[in-house]
Structure 1
Amino acid sequence: MSDSQRTVLTIRGRGANNQRISSKIFEEEVRAAAAIADELILESYGQHNIGLRLGSRERPLTIRVKGPAGQRLGCMGLPGATVVCEGSASDDVGYLNIGADIVVKGDATNGVCNAMAGGRVMIGGSIGARGLTMTKWNPDYERPQMWVLGSVGDTFAEFNCGGVGVVCGIEAKNPENVLGYRPCVGMVGGKIYYRGKTDGSYATTNAKLGAPNEEEWQWLIERLPEFLAHLDRGELLPKLSVRKEWQVLTAITPQERALIFSGPMPMTEFRRQIWDRGFGGGDPLRDIAPGLERGTIGVVEPGECRRRKPFWANRDAAAPCTFFCPIHIPTVDRLRLIREGRTDEAYEMLLRYTPLPASVCGTICPNLCIQNCSREKIDYSIDAAVLGRSIQAVAPPAAKPAIGKKVAIIGGGPSGMAAAWHLALNGVEAHIFERDTKLGGKLAQTIPWERLSQAVWEVEIDRFLKTENLQVSLGADLSRDTVEELKKTFDYVVVAVGTHQPRTLSFPGHQRVVPALAYLKAAKSDQPMATGRQVVIIGAGNVGCDVAAEAYRLGAEEVTLVDIQKPLAFGKERIAAETLGATFKWPFMTREVTAEGLVGADGTVLPAQTVIISIGDIPSLPFLPESVAVVKVGGASWIKTDEAGRTSDPQILAVGDVERPGLATNALGAGKRTAEYLLAVFRGEPWLPFHQRLISYEDLTLAHYDPVTDRGATEDQQAARCLSCGSCRDCHLCETVCPTGAISRRDILPGRDGVNYEYVSDDDKCIACGFCADTCPCGIWVMRPF
């Protein structure tokens, strides 16, 4: 990319009236600019965390700091980022750096490179205490480096675990002791190159001193020119290229340390000359316990001599896709069934978790499962959208026989549909009472058909209505009296009415403003609202983005979304709005709305013929009996529930947005959760909510999986790529790798998950080597205390 093609933006650390902007606001502005720029020029004024987690190898970013820099400059710096500070910097430069190049042309204070794991930090002056402390180093990557032109402070390289330090001694703050007092205490890895005088107080039990060997000198002399070039001090190269002036402190290895502490006499010699002679054969207890077993325990022993043993913890921990999904869909099980050729079982299993897999999971959900998929550590996440859309035309599962129980569900949105679906499939008569003329709530009423396919939606609604034990009454406008009648007719009543009352603000001209909910409902009807050429939307969340998309469809040429804070919009909705041309403006405080448009608190006028407000919706609960307690939050009443959805009325439960706002998948999950609670009550069984722990990435052995370039467009391709986190793939690797043949596979009766086998370890053969745990791709084998 040529210089003319680079995008360079300037961010100033002082705002109105020359006042310093807070570090939080400054960081938000920097991050927003970094999303579109190749280089940032920051006129900072002591702000902290400059350069935090910015840049990437795919999209390098240069940050030039031209004012006083606060603490943690370059903190958590990423590969591809270059941070250049023209002056001096405060504490913790390069803290937790994992790959960025950080250049400070002046001095830096304490904690430079603290806990750094990658990248380079280059200082043009001297630094304070505790530089290069607690560094980390992964041998698969370059060692972290710290270069200092001057001197360093006390306790330098404390607990250094692999970092390389270079201290040049040029214009040093302390020319009589360029390494400070007591460097290298606790150092277990890495090297320190230095030039100049020291007081010799380095930790001799942790580091050894010597002249640089050929390899070390070559490493240093090859990198010195680039370091000096970053500081614009190339003239110093001849002075720093005198080999005899350099010394190297190298970490002492564990083997060398063992010899240091073993004393002048080796232990074998001590036993032969002193111990055995002193005790007549080496056993001080022989006369007290002559029958004591004195055989030597081998280095590696099975059975009771082990300190730990392997456990086949199949399905003890949840995969990220299941854990983070509000419905807790066991995607790894579905993909396992597909790999085994049992596609029909896979479809039925999924439909027993959600009635709307194609329209929600496959289309509108931000897919928290995908966002947290372990496969992303290798190449790309499993595509849950592909999996969701593949099931759109599958028939509903067969319902279980009727059990003689009835539940009324008030509201036919996603939470009400989910509750009815799960109850009906399990033999409970579920009756939905919906005020609108169609099912689906806001999914059907407000989401543009461009994002939610009308054909897919109608297929899924048709499947829903074919379900046994399920009845739907549309156009049902209930009151407190009719709800009391429902309590007499049904065993339980579930409130799932969602939030259909728009929030508003009472600023001058608020009567000119259109609620987003009303605008979106009209847009999907036969009578959309008139839309001006210029549209301003108050509230830049995902609903605001949907409004923007519909406004463009209805004739708008310019759409602006404003917010008092950083926009909360993300994912597909924001991408769609920005692709159409929508712009975001924040922070923006509304003063009034006039015929000309939206007027900000500072007098700025955003021209608009249509102003729409999208700051959320609240429940409308005039039908709710007084026996149901509510909680007041933000000027709205929300039904108070427990984890099962129970309210203060023992016969009424509540699910979905009436208890807490969330995603469509949150509503589906809430409906399923409450249905499962009611089924447990009907059966006289304890209710067990989802409680599995999340499997750790570190438990998986990702080295067994090869990266791919094709994400895969079919279910079979997704199934093949699944890591099966926490769920055994029956790959036999543990059985194959066990050095003593302790692990074997045996058949068992299938459980609820359909698994008909298990792997076991023979205690009499197992030596607790841990090979099974180290090689298991899915994190099933774990080593625990015996």
Structure 2
Amino acid sequence: MSQENTNVITVPGKDKDNQRISSKVFEEEVRGAAAACDRLILESFGQHNIGLRLGTKQRPVHLTVKGPVGQRLGCMGQPGATIICEGSASDDVGYLNIGADIVVKGDATNGVCNAMAAGRVMIGGSIGARGLTMTKWNPDYEKPEMWVLGSVGDTFAEFNCGGVGVICGVEPRNPENVLGYRPCVGMVGGKIFYRGQTDDTYSRTNAKLSDPTDSDWEWLIANLPGYLESIERPELLEMLSVREEWQVLDAITPQERALMFSGPMPMEEFRRRIWMQGFDGGDPLRDLAPALERSVIGVVETGDMRRKKPYWANRDSAAPCTFYCPIHIPTIDRLRLIREGRNEEAYEMLLRYTPFPASVCGTICPNLCIQNCSREKIDYSIDVSVLGRAVQRVDPPEPEPSINAKVAVIGGGPAGMAVAWHLAQHGIRADIFEQDKVLGGKLAQTIPWERLSKAVWEMEVERFLKYENIHVNLGVSLTKEKVEELKEQYDYVVIGVGAHLPKTLSFPGHEKVIPALDYLKAAKSDTPMVTGKQVVIIGAGNVGCDVAAEAYRLGAEQVTLVDIQKPLAFGKEREAAEALGATFQWPVMTQEVTDEGLITNDGTLIPAQTVIISIGDIPTLPFLPDSVEVVNVAGGSWIKSDETGRTSDEKIFAVGDVERPGLATNALGAGKRTAEFIVAEIKGEPWLPFNKRLIKYEDLTIAHYDPERDKAITEDQQAARCLSCGSCRDCHLCETICPTNAISRQEKKMGADGVDYEYVSDDNKCIACGFCADTCPCGIWVMQPF
């Protein structure tokens, strides 16, 4: 297994003796790599079940498969997984898929999409028999989709229960019959779009043929470009955009099928002649429930006769800003408090989540909250960085009284400092042991002061040290024996030393290459490294962009970042590097580094006097006790831990980059998680991890909001713009719009969230019209089965 840069791991399908490894071992290797990285290259050799149950919406995974593929590619594929097969694939691609995007750029054989329930399978060639069979569809989710560029084999869409198939008829294996023999037998749901010749043997008792309706065509033409991009055939869009060449097979409804066999008849006659006779004059529930009321339900009913009832789902779901934030900061609560004029409470609430709202959230974080803000669909996102910087001079929250407990924290970077901060808030002593002469880890050591204001950082460190229960020991080097002593002296030991060993590559001239970590640390010291006029950086991630910015500051005139794939750099770091003149080149493989510069694998020379490598760092753990297990992935060892951060040693926890590489906010989030678990265990209370689902954007009613032309620059302006996703805004719209006055606002005891009211619906008045759900701007009211 090898790692090209911080976020890409290659998993080979053969061992060191060039022998094929088993599917089971290969799957274990892939799972181990996916735990440490979200982008993988799989050099398969006929292994089965590739991509099995990998990825989530919260932690997506991207697999590129470059070798021969066995059966069941993408089996049980999960939402959040993207699986790209560069060639062809064997049987049962997408079998039992429940949400993954699966792309096969060549052909696939039999059973494609068999029993699929969600997700998309996109084939760049043709497929064999029994494609799209026994698909399932839950109406609460998107319909499963299968796209085929060429043709399909026999018994296509057999027992299809809701899947959508698109057969483009381009370069088909069977140009005379792109749908194969006897498609759609037993089909009870779904839709088939196709283009090309057929033998006209589709099951006429299960499917009906028609031209695309306007809505059919709008859907097809909207989704076709994305499919063609996925299979790398965008040049076909114009050819496939001729509406007259497409036809549609729709599933025949049960009512339509009944009329086929019985002929048109009034419903009363159908009930008397067919329905009642079928159950011997009764109905299917007569024997089980003889007293069941069987009268016709009226047009408008209340109470128990409703099909659904409204539910005030206040705060049941998380807003995107909270869901995607690694610390899960409830930004909507902060903005609600600001709207109510309770700014001090808003600041205190924020500081209970993070010790660094100004330096991290307000400056260096890529702000996943902003990137996913629902307000972006109206005009532009809430600027959370403005809110973070407003808290830089605020005192820390009042801590709880001290209790008889203490924790040793090894490492004074963002993860370790977060642990200490949250423990101290709960009255637990935290002793930090840091090898460096200053706190902050890579935040203080490597991030250019041009991006992270030194004054702001020092102000927040000063606030951090105001807690009496935080004790800092600098310049401390630990050994296994010393850690064992800490275990005896403290209730728990938390390891958060980060990853400070630069990764390198072996190629001719590698000794001439400077590790990015060393370069950045020197750049922030009094003795920066000598930098040539031309600089090449191997690895075009965000750290590489920081290196580029420092190189320009230290005298470089031309900086080139190279990578083997599309650069992963994004956000502020990339914008800053490009603004200074940095350029990106990919795909580039390094063949050699000489005094003249970097030579690529095709022999091209990129001139440089300074070459820096930025492909990630790994932890160094010489002090780690033997009782703590590690996971070896891509040439590095990471500490193995559970969802709380606890290791195989019950008294030792791991947080931050020693668990897995991530952002500074990931480290802060891990520190908060582990500290809260330790607090709960010490106090004998249950630990409550963040487990809310993401609110659906479709549940919001954004029609109530007007786009804004001018940028909001103050806290109050930002607070007013917030859509308050999933959290009641107390706007009374539901109460006002209810046609039967069933909804009312009631006072209640103040909750932990600071809310002292609720809206309730009177079952005796509610007619389940759904107006409350349709108008709620925050997605609070939902209609549920009664």
Q: Same fold (TM over 0.5)?
A: yes
Instruction: Report deviation, 1:259.
Output: 9.6
Paired letter, 2:733: L
SS at match of 2:494: strand
Instruction: Report deviation, 1:450.
Output: 1.4
Q: Tell me, which stretches of 5 or more residues in structure 2 are unaligned?
A: 1-134, 136-152, 166-174, 212-237, 277-281
> For the residues of structure 1 that align with 2:275 and 2:452, how far apart are their CA atoms?
83
1:664 is aligned to 664
> For the residues of structure 2 that align with 1:188 and 1:478, how far apart are their CA atoms?
65
SS at match of 1:730: coil
Instruction: Report deviation, 1:708.
Output: 2.1
1:758 is aligned to 758
2:333 is aligned to 333
SS at match of 1:519: helix
Instruction: Report deviation, 1:528.
Output: 0.9
> For the residues of structure 2 that align with 1:585 and 1:718, how far apart are their CA atoms?
38
Paired letter, 1:618: I
> For the residues of structure 2 that align with 1:480 and 1:249, how far apart are their CA atoms?
69
Match status 1:343 vs 2:351 = no
Instruction: Report deviation, 1:556.
Output: 0.6
1:611 is aligned to 611
SS at match of 2:483: helix
Instruction: Report deviation, 1:275.
Output: 13
Instruction: Report deviation, 1:252.
Output: 12
Measured against aligned partners, the alpha-carbon deviations of 1:487-516 in whole angstroms (never above 9, x if no partner) come to 232221111111111112233322222111
1:625 is aligned to 625
Instruction: Report deviation, 1:323.
Output: 1.1
- Superposition map of 1:620-699 within 5 A: 620-699=620-699
Bigger Cα displacement from structure 2, 517-526 vs 252-261: 252-261
> For the residues of structure 1 that align with 2:661 and 2:155, how far apart are their CA atoms?
52
> For the residues of structure 2 that align with 1:417 and 1:329, how far apart are their CA atoms?
17
- Superposition map of 1:2-13 within 5 A: none
Instruction: Report deviation, 1:710.
Output: 2.8
Instruction: Report deviation, 1:336.
Output: 1.1
2:452 is aligned to 452
Q: 1:353 to 1:181 in 2, by over 3 A?
A: same
> For the residues of structure 2 that align with 1:273 and 1:598, how far apart are their CA atoms?
85
Instruction: Report deviation, 1:255.
Output: 12
Measured against aligned partners, the alpha-carbon deviations of 1:225-245 in whole angstroms (never above 9, x if no partner) come to xxxxx89xxxxxxxx9xxxxx
8 Å Cα contact 1:182/1:203 also seen in 2? no
- Superposition map of 1:14-413 within 5 A: 266-267=266-267, 297-413=297-413
Measured against aligned partners, the alpha-carbon deviations of 1:608-643 in whole angstroms (never above 9, x if no partner) come to 111111111111222222222222222222212111
Q: Tell me, which stretches of 5 or more residues in structure 1 are unaligned?
A: 1-133, 135-152, 164-172, 211-229, 232-239, 241-247, 277-281
SS at match of 1:772: helix
> For the residues of structure 1 that align with 2:648 and 2:452, how far apart are their CA atoms?
37
8 Å Cα contact 1:352/1:397 also seen in 2? yes
8 Å Cα contact 2:415/2:671 also seen in 1? yes
Paired letter, 1:400: E
Paired letter, 1:479: T
2:721 is aligned to 721
> For the residues of structure 2 that align with 1:458 and 1:500, how far apart are their CA atoms?
22
1:421 is aligned to 421
8 Å Cα contact 2:189/2:250 also seen in 1? no
2:491 is aligned to 491
Q: TM-score, normalised by structure 2?
A: 0.67
Instruction: Report deviation, 1:408.
Output: 1.4
8 Å Cα contact 1:189/1:252 also seen in 2? no
> For the residues of structure 2 that align with 1:181 and 1:627, how far apart are their CA atoms?
62
1:465 is aligned to 465
8 Å Cα contact 1:629/1:639 also seen in 2? yes
Among the aligned pairs, what percent are the same residue? 74
8 Å Cα contact 1:184/1:207 also seen in 2? no
Q: 1:254 to 1:379 in 2, by over 3 A?
A: farther
Paired letter, 2:467: T
> For the residues of structure 2 that align with 1:273 and 1:324, how far apart are their CA atoms?
58
> For the residues of structure 1 that align with 2:561 and 2:480, how far apart are their CA atoms?
40
8 Å Cα contact 1:187/1:207 also seen in 2? no
8 Å Cα contact 2:725/2:778 also seen in 1? yes
> For the residues of structure 2 that align with 1:157 and 1:652, how far apart are their CA atoms?
54
SS at match of 1:473: strand
SS at match of 2:499: coil
Measured against aligned partners, the alpha-carbon deviations of 1:378-403 in whole angstroms (never above 9, x if no partner) come to 22222121221121111111111101
Instruction: Report deviation, 1:307.
Output: 2.7
8 Å Cα contact 1:399/1:468 also seen in 2? no
Q: 1:199 to 1:367 in 2, by over 3 A?
A: closer
The aligned length equals 636
> For the residues of structure 2 that align with 1:375 and 1:733, how far apart are their CA atoms?
20
8 Å Cα contact 2:183/2:201 also seen in 1? no
8 Å Cα contact 2:404/2:428 also seen in 1? yes
> For the residues of structure 2 that align with 1:354 and 1:253, how far apart are their CA atoms?
56
1:581 is aligned to 581
8 Å Cα contact 2:184/2:202 also seen in 1? no
8 Å Cα contact 1:374/1:723 also seen in 2? yes
Paired letter, 1:365: C
Q: 1:199 to 1:333 in 2, by over 3 A?
A: closer
2:743 is aligned to 743
8 Å Cα contact 1:727/1:778 also seen in 2? yes
Paired letter, 2:660: R
